[in-house]
Amino acid sequence: MGHPFPIREIARQAGLSEATVDRVLNGRGGVRESTAREVHQAVADLDRQRTQVRLVGRTFMVDLVMQAPERFTTAIRAALEAELPALHPAVLRSRFHFRETGPVGELVRTLDRIARRGSQGVILKAPDVPEVTAAVGRLAAAGIPVVTLVTDLPSSARLAYVGIDDRAAGATAAYLMGQWLGQRPGNILTSLSSGFFRNEEEREMGFRSAMRARHPERTLVEIAEGQGLDATQYDLVRAALERDPDIRAVYSIGGGNIATLRAFDDLGRDCAVFVAHDLDHDNTRLLREHRLSAVLHHDLRQDVREACHTVMRAHGALPPAGPTLPSAIQVVTPYNMPAQAAV
């Protein structure tokens, strides 16, 4: 494969030995298919980050480890790579370890590999479970700062959390839901991708608390463990709609919104109000089509910038700063979509 990058740069980007990279690039065999994919992905990442590769200065290699649907990790990758050229005074490069779902053990093995081979920082979106908390402790013990992004691990040794106040976001969703439903009857479907993500749990608590205080007559119907993936989400939503003919609105905490709406359509049911999170590619299209009432959004570029700055401060490349404040919650409707919304 043609490329302008030295083997040592590809090896660093992939987190592999130069010998392994050389075997892959020259087709010598003896390398697992998954390893070959890592090498090719490293070349693609270097190509997108080529302005960073050419810069001279103190270089930080940051690893992004995330369990999330592809639509969200794509948005994160784009946000980070848009910010990289402006992250002075140091040069930041990034490696990506993304997966949609899978056993916790695989995620822990990824974190432990990073701890063994070294990194200047880890930006992490992961379930809040003891195994991940322990792995974050091992990273911290190895001198690798960890910043949680979007969802927190508050009992871990992470350095900081970057993201919104999720309880406030849930309460905001409840306020909008109550205003827009008005006096119309109907139950509300709340949908989580997993009960193990702290941000989703806190959104649900904020939503439930505000609904109980302001609209105690409303029944909330919860579904979970769809992982934000369309195939599993459709079955969960359809089953909930078949069990409860009074569901008329949705608060989507964990995504899979195309599948949710398809379940409503297939059963000939109307969704009067639909509040979701994040302006990813799917939600942007659904909002433009007026299939969503509102999206609760936060600036991902600002979030990844703050996460990278936190890593840089940990290494003394930036002066110390005060505690990280929650990201601003933006209520986006079809009529005030930001110019940089996904297309």
pLDDT of residue 81: 87
Q: What region does 143 belong to: left with phi over 0, alpha with psi -120 to 50, or beta?
A: left
Q: Would you place residue 197 in the very low, low, confident or very high pLDDT band (cuts 50, 70, 90)?
A: very high
Picking from 123, 110, 130, the residue whose alpha carbon sits closest to that of residue 163 is 123
**For residue 89, is the peptide bond before it cis, meaning its omega torsion is within 30 degrees of 0?**
yes
DSSP 3-state of 307: helix
Residue 238, C-beta contacts closer than 8 angstroms, at least 6 positions apart: 263, 266, 267
pLDDT of residue 324: 87
Average pLDDT, stretch 207-228? Answer: 94
pLDDT tens digits, one per residue of 297-332:
999 999 999 999 999 999 988 888 888 899 999 999
Q: Is 156:146 a contact under the CB 8 Å cutoff?
A: yes
Q: Would you place residue 19 in the very low, low, confident or very high pLDDT band (cuts 50, 70, 90)?
A: confident
pTM above 0.85, yes or no: no
pLDDT of residue 258: 96
- What stretches of the chain show up as alpha helix (H) in DSSP? 7-14, 18-25, 33-48, 50-54, 70-83, 104-117, 130-141, 166-181, 198-214, 230-243, 257-266, 281-288, 300-314
Q: Name the least confident of 57-61, 134-138, 141-145, 281-285.
A: 57-61
Long-range contacts of 77-86 (CB under 8 A, 24+ apart): 79/300, 79/301, 79/303, 79/304, 80/304, 80/308, 81/48, 81/49, 82/301, 83/301, 83/304, 83/305, 83/308, 84/49, 84/51, 84/52, 85/51, 85/52, 86/305
Identify the residue with better confidence: 218 or 31: 218
pLDDT of residue 209: 98
pLDDT tens digits, one per residue of 164-174:
999 999 999 99
Residue 250 has pLDDT above 60, yes or no: yes
Q: Would you place residue 50 in the very low, low, confident or very high pLDDT band (cuts 50, 70, 90)?
A: low
Residue 49 has pLDDT above 70, yes or no: no
pLDDT of residue 195: 82
Count of other CB atoms within 10 angstroms of residue 52: 18
CA distance 277 to 298: 9
Q: Would you place residue 56 in the very low, low, confident or very high pLDDT band (cuts 50, 70, 90)?
A: very low
- What stretches of 118-165 show up as alpha helix (H) in DSSP? 130-141
